[in-house]
Structures are given as C-alpha cells and as structure tokens.
C-alpha cells in the first residue's frame, strides 16, 4: 500500500517505565504539538507518541477526509486507519516501545481515528480515551469482537451540536457489544474539550494503567 509517513513527536518515559505508550491524536486543525501539554498528566512512567494527521482540509490537519460536517469519507477512513496501524508497528520498532501496550488518547477527529482502530484492529490497542467521539464507520460496519477486552473511556458532550445523540447511543452500544470495557462520561458541554473531560480521562487512565507500586525497602 502507498502509505505516507506521519509526522510525530516521541517522548520516552522519564521515570520507571510502565511499558505503556500514550498515543496522542489531535482534533481538526491541530498537530502533533496540540495535546502535548496534557501528556504530563498521564504520569512520568509512560511514553508519549503524538502524531499529526496526513490529510489537509483547507490547511487544517486531519486524520481522514470528510465530505461535509459530520459526514466522513469512509473509504479514506479505512485507508488512513490501515496507514496509522502500519505506522504504529514501524515506529515502535524505531523508538523501542511495545506496540501491544499503546493507549490512544484522541479528541474529536483524533477520537474518531482511534475509534476506527478499535473497529478495524480490535486487538491492537491496550485502551483508548475518546473525547467527543463519533462513529467513524457506519457503512459496511465490520463484525467486531475483541478477546482482549481493552478498556475505553467514552466521553461525549451532551450539548454537542455536531453529533446526533441517537448515533452516540448506537456507537456506545456497538463498542460494548464488541467486548470493549466502556466507561462512559457524558459532559454537559458542546464539542469543546473541557477541564472536566481532561481530568476524567486522566483519572480513568491512572485507574487502568497506573504504574506498579515501588517496593518499600522498610518492609
């Protein structure tokens, strides 16, 4: 396949490593630096991989094309998802992290490409934080099942004008039925990312992917 390289920033863990790598996926118009200020909240023991989408919409980076507001080019969604999955394997070998211990953290368009990874590669990710998600594939939806049962933080905005609430319910039900362990937090906000969203995602992450406690030499 004619996959393009993705621009990224990689930061190795700065303390005792947990083995987990957080994959930061920006929203429309962001880039690989957009979510980096949030990275320290996940703890110094995690690696951070922040990626820029390869699609440009009026000069704004995205992870896949869309045909209109809330209408995705699903052929491109599939292609870009395969491209990102191949990139993760390649960059894990280059940077020396475990590709089976990647937790995607995405906002808006970034959450949607992360969701597409869950649907097309249900055994790939160790977990995911989906801030303001929309179901990325609605045509020919793959028969998804995961035996790995990775946890997923699912965080829609209850006042989000860009998402049909019924579609959000269907998407959540699809992920749960596929075997993902869904923790849902509906924020009373629109499409914007709020401090409560960030705090909720980080608390969820630390609950599921906290570093093992260091041995106490006094015991």
Residues 158-184 have pLDDT tens digits of 999 999 999 999 999 999 999 999 999
Q: Tell me if 215 is assigned to some domain.
A: no
Q: How far apart are the first and last CA of the chain?
A: 56
Q: Is residue 108 flagged as an active site residue? A: yes
Q: Tell me if 216 is assigned to some domain.
A: no
Q: Which residue has the tokens 């629109």?
A: 190
Options 76, 186, 191, 208, the catalytic residue: 191
Q: Tell me if 219 is assigned to some domain.
A: no
Options 50, 116, 160, 197, the catalytic residue: 160
Q: Tell me if 109 is assigned to some domain.
A: yes
Q: What is the CATH number of the domain that holds 27?
A: 3.40.50.1820
In Å, how far are 31, 66, 121 from 144, measured between CA atoms? 30, 23, 9
Q: How many domains are contained in the chain?
A: 1
Q: Tell me if 163 is assigned to some domain.
A: yes
The model's pLDDT over 13-67, given as tens digits with 9 standing for 90+, comes to 999 999 999 999 999 999 999 999 999 999 999 999 999 999 999 999 999 998 9
3 state SS of 58: coil
Q: Tell me if 23 is assigned to some domain.
A: yes
The region that residue 12 occupies, defined by phi over 0 for left and psi between -120 and 50 for alpha, beta otherwise, is beta
Nearest Cα residue to 22 out of 202, 213, 175: 202
H-type helices in the chain, by residue range?
74-95, 109-120, 165-178, 195-209
HSE (side-chain half, CA atoms, 13 Å) at 201: 30
Residues in contact with 75: Cβ distance below 8 Å, sequence separation at least 6, in sequence order = none
**CA 73 to CA 109: how far, in whole Å?**
13
CA angle centred on 120, ends 200 and 38, rounded to 5°: 25
Q: What's the domain range around 82?
A: 7-209
The model's pLDDT over 114-167, given as tens digits with 9 standing for 90+, comes to 999 999 999 999 999 999 999 999 998 889 999 999 999 999 999 999 999 999
Q: Tell me if 214 is assigned to some domain.
A: no
Options 50, 92, 108, 116, the catalytic residue: 108
Q: Tell me if 169 is assigned to some domain.
A: yes
Q: Is residue 15 flagged as an active site residue? A: no
């Amino acid at each position: 396949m004619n996959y393009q390289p993705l621009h990224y920033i990689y930061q190795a863990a700065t303390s005792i490593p947990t083995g987990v790598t957080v994959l930061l996926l920006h929203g429309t118009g962001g880039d690989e630096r957009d979510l980096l200020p949030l990275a320290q909240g996940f703890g110094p023991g995690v690696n951070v991989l922040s990626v820029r989408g390869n699609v440009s919409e009026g000069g704004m980076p995205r992870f896949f094309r869309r045909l209109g507001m809330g209408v995705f080019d699903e052929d491109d969604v599939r292609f870009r998802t395969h491209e990102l999955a191949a990139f993760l394997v390649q960059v894990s070998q280059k940077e020396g992290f475990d590709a089976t211990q990647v937790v995607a953290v995405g906002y808006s368009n970034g959450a949607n490409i992360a969701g597409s990874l869950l649907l097309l590669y249900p055994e790939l990710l160790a977990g995911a934080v989906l801030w303001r998600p929309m179901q990325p594939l609605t045509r020919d939806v793959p028969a998804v099942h995961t035996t790995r049962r990775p946890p997923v933080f699912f965080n829609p905005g209850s006042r989000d004008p860009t998402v049909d609430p019924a579609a959000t319910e269907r998407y959540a039900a699809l992920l749960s039925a596929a075997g993902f362990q869904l923790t849902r937090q509906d924020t009373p906000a629109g499409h914007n990312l709020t401090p409560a969203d960030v705090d909720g995602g980080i608390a969820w992450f630390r609950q599921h992917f906290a570093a093992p406690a260091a041995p106490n030499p006094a015991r």
